[in-house]
């Protein structure tokens, strides 16, 4: 019987937020085959500065080290990187620079690199793409403020290519939520699990082919903050017993179920809920509460709450690869689009538009399966075509008072801003413990109960 496999644990800092070049994270690599500069063959073609460097180094009897590995036949002084060309002595190629980290995006099959260099007395770090390993692509470094002798382009490209090969790639899993683990082994604690089963990625480190990887959280901050106890205390004191607020928690957790339920209802690709209300109804509070079950419930720092002030293309890019993380779009009035028909269709359908590559082939389109919550003082159904195919894709709630007081609303928003990301991993763990047959039975029972409560209409089946 097929079961879902879930990984539970603290997620690594998102790549968009981490400083990958801090002293704590950078491994200090000793220079390979380090020689004292007094042993170097210094020719008349070498600069006087380099000879002085050799003399200074001989006096201090210290070995030169770098924050990155140096390939064979390369050396580094405080002046820069030198290569041994086989004759003529050591040749300067460019200042002290090197790749300190190498990332491989598993889904896109592309690589990225953290390049460290010195600017004055300070160490700087930028992220670059694999295009730098070509004579034309290396010019992109000049635009970024990295200066080197243009006549040494070929030597610089050769150096970076050789240096990159000395670093094991850190595997990046850019998706979040349910997905089939690709080619490798997933480790839960000290146990290795079947890589062909479904895994809930986004809250753990992943191991593949013996190489450590991480979910880079390019778009979402899913790392738990504060404590589960504090969130539960808030729930017990301010949420429990208030059906509209309890609905908010269920709304956030429903994102985890969407991907599961598509096995029995392929038409259920995403759940879209729009909450209509005035400022004092608590609509934003309940949406923030919904987001807090899975991650940071804010509009900043890769939070799960965004605004409607985004283009359609930006929205789809943000949703790509999301298979179980709730997302909130706050305040519909911020959208500049008068007709939202096309956008809502795409959000509910869960896939980006097909586009052609430069070679006239279709790019692989990415998808999402999750719960999208929206808020606004205006009805979203007033800004779309009134056709049945679109109306059945939207749950619109109007006239509901979610909070009972300003104090309750402020307490909820204050507490979830500090304590978030704990409930979803726990819920996923409980889902994983149930066989799919049991989940299917619960799904059918829920359909029956809801059908009993729905008013008769052409949409009731």
Share of the chain above pLDDT 90, in %: 43
CA distance 454 to 233: 34
Q: For 343-355, how does the pLDDT look when each residue is reduced to its tens digit (9 = 90+)?
A: 999 999 998 765 5
Q: Two tokens at 58?
A: 């001989």
Q: Two tokens at 201?
A: 């990625």
Count of C-beta atoms within a 10 Å radius of residue 106: 19
Mean pLDDT of the chain: 78
Q: Two tokens at 72?
A: 């064979």
Q: What angle do CA 49, 54, 56 make, to 5 degrees?
A: 90
Q: For 226-251, how does the pLDDT look when each residue is reduced to its tens digit (9 = 90+)?
A: 999 999 999 999 999 999 999 999 99
- pLDDT at residue 394 above 80? yes
Say whether domain 228-354+365-453 belongs to CATH 3.40.50.
yes
CA distance 31 to 36: 11
Q: Two tokens at 7?
A: 């990984």
Under a CB-based contact definition with an 8 Å cutoff, are residues 201 and 6 in contact?
A: no
Q: For 369-389, how does the pLDDT look when each residue is reduced to its tens digit (9 = 90+)?
A: 999 999 999 999 999 988 888
Under a CB-based contact definition with an 8 Å cutoff, are residues 305 and 288 in contact?
A: yes
Query: b vs e for 328-342, b when ≥16 Cβ sit within 10 Å of the residue's Cβ?
Result: bbbbbeebeeeebee
Q: For 120-166, how does the pLDDT look when each residue is reduced to its tens digit (9 = 90+)?
A: 778 889 999 999 999 888 988 888 888 888 899 999 999 999 999 99
Count of C-beta atoms within a 10 Å radius of residue 319: 23
Under a CB-based contact definition with an 8 Å cutoff, are residues 12 and 205 in contact?
A: yes
Q: Two tokens at 435?
A: 């066989």
Cβ-defined contacts of 383-389 (< 8 Å, 24+)? 383/332, 383/337, 383/338, 383/339, 383/340, 384/339, 384/340, 384/341, 384/344, 385/339, 385/341, 388/458, 388/459
Tell me the backbone φ, ψ of residue 297, rounded to 5 degrees: -90, 60
* CA 96 to chain CA mean position, Å: 31
366 or 252: which carries more pLDDT confidence? 252
- pLDDT at residue 198 above 60? no
CB-based contacts of 324, cutoff 8 Å, min separation 6 = 176, 177, 178, 200, 202, 255, 256, 258, 259, 369, 370, 428
- pLDDT at residue 189 above 60? no
DSSP assignment of 224-246: -BS-HHHHHHHIIIIITT-HHHH
CA distance 210 to 207: 6
422-437 mean pLDDT: 86
- pLDDT at residue 80 above 80? yes
Burial class (CB in 10 A: 0-12, 13-18, 19+), 461: exposed
CA distance 252 to 360: 40
- pLDDT at residue 212 above 60? no
Which of 283, 386, 276, 392 has the alpha carbon at shortest distance from 339? 386
Q: Two tokens at 336?
A: 């500049």
Cα–Cα separations (whole angstroms), residue 413 to 289, 347, 418: 7, 27, 9
Identify the H or E element spanning 428.
Answer: helix 423-432
Identify the H or E element spanning 410.
Answer: helix 406-418
- pLDDT at residue 184 above 60? no
CA distance 348 to 344: 6
DSSP assignment of 307-324: ES-S-HHHHHHHHTTEES
Which of 4, 152, 138, 159 has the alpha carbon at shortest distance from 70? 159
Residue 445: pLDDT band by 50, 70, 90 thresholds? very high
Model pLDDT, residue 410 = 96
Residue in this structure with the two tokens 């003082």, named with its chain if needed: 377
Q: Any idea where the domains of the chain sit in the sequence?
A: 1-218, 228-354+365-453
DSSP assignment of 245-275: HHHHHHHHHHHHHHHHHTTT-TT---EEEEE
Q: Two tokens at 178?
A: 């349910």
- The residues that bridge with 180 in the sheet, in sequence order, are 198
């Amino acid at each position: 019987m097929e079961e879902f496999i879930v990984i539970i644990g603290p997620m690594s800092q998102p790549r968009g937020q981490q400083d990958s070049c801090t002293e704590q994270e950078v491994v200090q690599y000793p220079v390979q085959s380090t020689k004292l500069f007094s042993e170097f063959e210094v020719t008349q073609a070498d600069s006087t500065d380099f000879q002085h460097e050799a003399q200074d180094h001989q006096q201090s009897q210290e070995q030169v080290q770098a924050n990155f590995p140096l390939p064979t036949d390369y050396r580094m002084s405080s002046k820069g990187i030198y290569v041994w060309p086989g004759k003529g002595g050591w040749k300067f190629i460019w200042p002290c620079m090197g790749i300190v980290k190498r990332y491989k995006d598993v889904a896109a099959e592309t690589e990225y690199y953290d390049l460290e260099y010195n600017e004055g007395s300070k160490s700087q770090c930028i992220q670059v793409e694999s295009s730098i390993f070509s004579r034309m692509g290396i010019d992109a470094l000049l635009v970024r403020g990295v200066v080197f002798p243009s006549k040494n382009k070929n030597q610089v490209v050769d150096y970076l290519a050789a240096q990159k090969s000395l670093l094991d790639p850190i595997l990046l899993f850019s998706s979040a939520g349910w997905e089939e683990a690709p080619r490798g082994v997933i480790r839960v604690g000290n146990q290795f699990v079947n890589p062909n089963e479904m895994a809930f990625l986004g809250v753990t480190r992943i191991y593949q082919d013996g190489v450590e990887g991480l979910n880079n959280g390019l778009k979402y901050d899913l790392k738990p903050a504060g404590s589960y106890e504090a969130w539960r205390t808030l729930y017990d004191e301010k949420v429990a017993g208030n059906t509209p607020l309890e609905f908010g928690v269920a709304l956030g957790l429903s994102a985890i179920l969407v991907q599961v339920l598509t096995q029995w209802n392929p038409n259920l690709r995403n759940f879209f809920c729009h909450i209509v209300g005035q400022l004092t109804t608590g609509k934003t509070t309940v949406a923030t509460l919904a987001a807090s079950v899975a991650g940071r419930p804010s509009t900043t720092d890769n939070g799960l709450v965004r605004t409607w002030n985004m283009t359609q293309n930006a929205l789809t890019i943000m949703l790509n690869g999301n298979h179980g993380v709730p997302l909130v779009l706050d305040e519909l009035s911020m959208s500049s689009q008068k007709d939202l028909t096309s956008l809502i269709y795409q959000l509910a359908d869960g896939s980006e538009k097909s586009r052609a590559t430069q070679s006239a082939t279709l790019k692989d389109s990415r998808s999402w399966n999750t719960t999208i919550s929206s808020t606004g003082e205006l009805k979203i159904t007033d800004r779309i075509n009134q056709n049945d195919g679109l109306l059945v894709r939207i749950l619109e709630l109007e006239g509901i008072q979610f909070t009972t007081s300003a104090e309750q609303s402020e307490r909820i928003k204050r507490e979830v801003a500090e304590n978030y990301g704990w409930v979803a991993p726990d819920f996923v763990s409980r889902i994983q413990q149930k066989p799919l047959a049991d989940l299917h039975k619960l799904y059918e029972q829920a359909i029956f109960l809801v059908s009993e409560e729905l008013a008769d209409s052409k949409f009731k089946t």
